Structure 1
Amino acid sequence: ENLRQLLLSPPLGQKSVLAIDPGYRTGCKVVCLDPQGNLLHNETVFPHPPQSEQGKAMSKISALVDTYKIEAIAIGNGTASRETEALIKRIRFNRDVKVFVVSEDGASVYSASPVAREEFPEYDVTVRGAVSIGRRLMDPLAELVKIDPKSIGVGQYQHDVDQTKLKGSLDQVVESCVNHVGVHLNTASKHLLTYVSGLGPQLAKNIVEYRAQNGAFRSRDELKRVPRLGEKAFEQCAGFLRIAEAENPLDNTAVHPESYHIVEKMAADLGCSVVDLIRNEELRAKIKLEKYVTDKVGLPTLNDIMQELSKPGRDPRKAIKVFEFAEGIFSIDDLKPGMVLPGIVTNITNFGVFVDIGVKQDGLVHISQMANRFVSNPLDVVKLHQHVKVKVLEVDIPRKRIQLSMRDVEQ
């Protein structure tokens, strides 16, 4: 459940992003990515001790934002994250730039993996890590599928269970999330395509190679020309693959090619085009679904088709929100019992949830402190990466433990 929520985190979408992997001694790795997630530029700035070149770092980042027309900045939530965020907030940009703090969990695993080496053979792990942070902001699902789910660091007791069964069920979750969201055929990586129903590593590789040789797919039908992609695989995968600029507008929806003739008949009966049917709610309201029921197509399928026509190709994930930690709270020493602070849920366990309040040490909201009522399952109250308000109950500095509560706190 933790993994599902993480994979379905809200995406920023295709925007130009500047990503920072913060650090002290080794500096902050800065990368600029285009809206497709391609690396345009990378360098290192040293705003924090021991070098403390704050002015230089600020002017450099400001110049990069102008040069690459950056729309959002992603900062990894590891070492020196809060200090880097504070520095970025002091820069007066010439354009509207949103700042997001992004979970780094598993980024180091990705950056040292064969997948990352294949993508960026000429760059070191630090640059790859920063690229991963930026891409996670744009599309968490597309980036996180490259990491073994066990390395993302959510949940509990994962080393105590049967590893084969665990892998099987985690892979199932990834596949269902990918199929729920749908995949853009012309931009999807090999790794993302692997999880689409009916495709595996070999067919995913063949699709990417076909795309490289022949250019973008113009229709779903063109998939049949991909080597070794037969009728059965096409039948399973076609409904989950989207083509944004396709000649047939249905190629950018979850309507399966097998059902195109139904939509075309609906449009013909109303004397309009399929495009009109998608754009015009009044036309869709005139359709009597019972008329199109056959021995092969039932009412549930027709209802699904109508639902999809009302929001063609729309991402089912929620819109992303900017989050800000409390000002002036940077370390565990700044905390006092009774403080009410904003936080982000980082992990959900049977006994409660862990919340990041911006002090490099997550606090625990015990299950008994999650609501003013009895809670049997924390997932009934919160979701991963949810923005919450918490009250500080107790701070144990020597043991680095923070007890938090959500009771009697206005959410």
Structure 2
Amino acid sequence: MTPLLNYIVSHTKLPEVSIKNTVELLNEDCTIPFISRYRKERTGNLDEVQIGDIVKFKEQFETLEKRKAAILKALEEQDALTSELKQKIEATQDLTTLEDLYLPFKKSRKTKAETARQNGLEPLAKIIMSQNVNDVESVAYKYVKGEIKSVEDALEGARHIISEWINELTDIRNNIRQQLERFAMISTKVVKAKADDENAQKFRDYFEWEEALSRIPSHRLLAILRAESEGFIKVKIEIDDEKALTKIEDRIMRSNNDCTEQIQIAIQDAYKRLLLPSLSNEALQNAKTKADEAAISVFAKNLKQLLLGSPLGEKRVLAIDPGFRTGCKVVCLDAQGGLLYNETIYPHPPKSDTIGAMKKISSLTEAYQIEAIAIGNGTASRETEAVIRKIHFKNDIQVFVVSEAGASIYSASKIARDEFPNYDVTVRGSVSIGRRLQDPLAELVKIDAKSIGVGQYQHDVDQTKLKKELDVVVESCVNAVGVNLNTASTSLLSYVSGIGPKLAENIVAYRDENGAFTSRNEVKKVPRLGGKAFEQGAAFLRIKEAKNPLDDSAVHPESYAIVEKMAKDLGKHVTDLIGNKDQLQNIDLKKYCTETVGLPTLQDIINELEKPGLDIREQAKVFTFNQNIKTINDLREGQLLPGIVNNITNFGCFVDVGIKESGLIHVSNLSDSFVKDVNEHVSLHQQVIVKVLDVDVPRKRIQLKLHK
């Protein structure tokens, strides 16, 4: 087994052959969605999560190996690489141990120990560490020369060198690490000068706080670190200093003589100046890394649920971005999201032209044959919804309240300017609200995922890791649903397996110049879209009403011949098989197995032929809030209210009950039993009934309980 395979196997416990074949596919530039869907035989039917783990540990191993190579090169250049040290470095399986091995060789020239060495005090340090001298001062006197003006100077310099040696001892470092891992306390103190700052008040729970670092929830740690970064509190990591020092003394001290006091002083110095600051910071960073991972995981789950939210589908929509003084921006969209008309109405104060607004909406719904109305959930949303519901439409028109999160980001973006160069941000924002109702996935991919607002402390976590994880989620969702090749935006196409931003632009440019694609094969004519990109992406591209019905399915073009053979063997055409469950279930799949195509792929083909192009998402449903609840002042303890889950965190979920402030269902109020994972009890955009437990109007906080 190669070192890479051994590393991944040890971390994932997946079968070696599955890992080996997956790594080969990754090295061939295959994507996770493609591998999990169309290479099941090679991977042993691994899912996207398992393949994602292989990718993660493959990258970790490559980072580790790269760092090893850099360290070995540096040690060779210093002429400090022994065969024993080289063996230790090559055998190391984690970065922390690796950096500990390298620590003695990467000294800064400005350390106190290095200054002492330059003053010729290393021999004195070695004498003291031998612990065999009874008159240290007389020995130290021999080193009083040059920059060293006194015996105390000599002893202090020697102690600095000893402190550094102690700091570099791996077993001592690991012992303190273990103590920090098990017993460290994180405490906070308010910065008195900023205690009354208005912005500090949201952190007032942490003005004086203490908790075990190993048990602090991710959201609390991230909140504390944000408060510290904004200068409102000071954070300290502490362990039992006496216990830690005793452990070091037990490791270092071998006798009781004139050297003892000097070594004890050096131990104190090593611990307080070098070991504790460095390792407590490392412990805090490790805790922050875990908190980041937890927060990113929550964000990723939320984002997936949001992206796979229920689409209304290709329906003609009138969308409204509500407002009071500036009016409500209204747009009419065709079934594909194209802008047909825009106008501003003023149903609310100060103009209060409610009658005129109602007449205008009524006439627009008739003129553009509107099938649904989308109202943004921001300022004046409830008031606008109330106006719309007073209108007696001639046809049955559904009214939806749609999340505006991130719409302002989109409306000011280059993507929006390119789509609507002749319209201002208000019109673009309204279009985005309407399109979100038609197809949330297609519209939300245009917005930087972390701006959608469905996570916790997303701006405080490692931004590189966050972007990477969210990109994986978006790619997974886009490919799980598939995209309409003839209507998809550049943003949506860029997430299709094997495509990317540049090829997405080329596809749209080719479509604009040559008209709609009539077959998947035609995609090969797009400039710079080669065989590899076609292999990776073709099956995720759909063509509605194509000549070949398989072009509107998840069947990969490489498997068309198999479907054609199945049809021929039955004396049928391919079109006769589609949707014909009885016929499909009677096919003997073993007849069509080859060296590369096995039963998992064949069963996927049958499932797809039964319901080709089936959208995995549920259709959008109308939801109505309690019309009597318009502000936080209307809430009363004990009320039962309909609501929509609009954010999920590790400590609970937030619910929109139709007012500006969302209410919190704390984990303790989600169920009568212990809640391990919030996502097991609620999902994003789920319609729920909640009970009001407490309303704190001054702090604008609402406590809710999930009503079963």
TM range (shorter): over 0.9
Equivalent residue number for residue 357 of structure 2: 57
Partners of 2:580 and 2:599 lie apart in 1 by: 22
Does residue 129 (structure 1) correspond to residue 129 (structure 2)? The answer is no
Q: In 2, Cα distance between the equivalents of 1:391 and 1:4?
A: 27
Deviation at 1:160, TM superposition (A): 2.1
Quick one: distance in 2 between partners of 1:215 and 1:5? Answer: 34
* CA distance in structure 1 between the partners assigned to 2:674 and 2:620 by the alignment: 30
Tell me the alpha carbon deviations over residues 217-258 of structure 1, each in whole angstroms, 9 at most, x when there is no partner: 111011111111101110000010000111100000000000
> How much identity, in percent, do the aligned residues show?
68
Deviation, 1:359, is: 1.5
Structural mapping, 1:68-79, within 5 Å:
68-79=368-379
2:384 to 78, 84, 88: 84
Aligned to 1:8: 308
TM superposition shift of 1:285: 2.0
1:141 to 419, 434, 441: 441
Counting only pairs closer than 5 Å after superposition, residues 295-374 of structure 1 correspond to structure 2 as 295-374=595-674
Which of 520, 524, 530 aligns to 1:224? It is 524
Q: Distance in 1 between matches of 2:500 and 2:600?
A: 29
**Displacement of 1:19 after TM fit?**
0.2
Greater shift, 274-283 or 52-61, is seen at 274-283
RMSD between superposed Cα atoms in Å: 0.7
> Which of 378, 395, 409 is equivalent to 1:95?
395
User: How many Å separate the matches in 1 of 2:517 and 2:653?
Assistant: 44
TM-superposed CA distance for 1:399, in Å, is 1.1
Task: Note the alpha carbon deviations across 1:311-357, whole angstroms, 9 max, x for none.
Answer: 10111111211100012111111111110000000100010000000
Following TM superposition, by how much is the alpha carbon of 1:200 offset from its aligned partner in structure 2, in angstroms?
1.1
Q: Match of 1:196?
A: 496
Partner of 1:24: 324
Task: Judging by fraction of residues, say which structure has more strand.
Answer: 1
Structure 1 residue 45 corresponds to structure 2 residue 45:
no
Helix, strand or coil for the counterpart of 1:368? helix
Distance in 2 (CA, whole Å) between partners of 1:113 and 1:281 is: 47
Report whether the alignment pairs 1:287 with 2:587. Answer: yes
Q: 1:149-298 to 2 correspondence within 5 Å? A: 149-298=449-598
Mapped to 1, the partners of 2:524 and 2:409 lie a distance apart of 36
Following superposition of structure 1 onto structure 2, how do residues 366-385 of structure 1 map, counting pairs within 5 Å?
366-385=666-685
Distance, in Å, in 2 between the alignment partners of 1:75 and 1:160 is: 31
CA distance in 2, matches of 1:326, 1:372: 26
Give the secondary-structure state (helix, strand or coil) at the position aligned to 2:578.
helix
CA distance in 2: counterparts of 1:123 and 1:214, whole angstroms: 27
C-alpha contact 2:579 2:612 (8 A) present in aligned 1:
no
Paired amino acid for 2:548: N
Q: Counterparts of 2:459 and 2:518 in 1: how far apart (Å)?
A: 45
CA distance, structure 2, for counterparts of residue 226 and residue 304 of structure 1 = 29
Inter-partner Cα distance in structure 1 for 2:613 and 2:516 = 18
Aligned to 2:705: 405
Cα shift at 1:360: 1.0
User: C-alpha distance in 1, partners of 2:421/2:510?
Assistant: 22
Instruction: Please list the CA deviations of residues 1-53 of structure 1 after superposition, one character each: whole Å capped at 9, or x if unmatched.
Output: 11111100010000100000000000000000000101110010111111111
Query: Structure 1 residue 374: deviation in Å?
Result: 1.1
How far apart, CA to CA, are the structure 2 residues paired with 1:59 and 1:114? 35
Counterpart AA for 2:354: Q
Query: Which whole-Å CA distance do the structure 2 matches of 1:191 and 1:327 have between them?
Result: 38
Tell me, what secondary structure is at the counterpart of 1:191? Answer: helix
More helix by share: 2
Q: Please give the secondary structure, in 1, of the residue aligned with 2:559.
A: helix
Compare relative contact order (CA 8 Å, sep 6+) and give the higher one, 1 or 2.
Answer: 1
Which residue identity lines up with residue 386 of structure 2 in the other structure? A
1:161 positional shift: 1.8
Task: Indicate conservation of the 8 Å contact 2:402/2:436, yes or no.
Answer: yes
| Residue aligning to 2:165 | none
**Secondary structure of 1:361's match?**
coil
After superposition, what is the alpha-carbon deviation per residue over 1:64-84, rounded to whole angstroms, capped at 9, x for unaligned?
000000000000000000011
Residue type of the partner of 2:409? V
2:140 is matched with none
2:407 matched residue in structure 1: 107
SS in structure 1 at match of 2:647: strand
SS at structure 1 position matched to 2:671: coil
What is the alpha-carbon distance in structure 2 between the residues aligned to residue 162 and residue 326 of structure 1? 40
Aligned to 2:135: none
Deviations 1:109-165 (A, max 9, x none): 000111111111111111100000000000000000000001101111212221111
| TM-superposed deviation, 1:398 | 1.2
TM-score (norm 2): 0.57
The 3-state SS of whatever aligns with 2:665 is strand
2:418 maps to 1:118? yes
How far off its partner does 1:372 sit? 2.2
Q: Which runs of 5+ in 2 are unaligned?
A: 1-300
1:210 corresponds to which letter in structure 2? Y
Structure 1 runs of 4+ off > 2 angstroms?
A: none
CA drift at 1:279: 2.9
For residues 700 and 569 of structure 2, what CA distance do their matches in structure 1 show?
Answer: 69
Q: Which moved more, 1:314-323 or 1:234-243?
A: 314-323
Q: Report the TM-score, using the length of structure 1 for normalisation.
A: 0.98
Greater gyration radius = 2
- Displacement of 1:296 after TM fit? 1.3
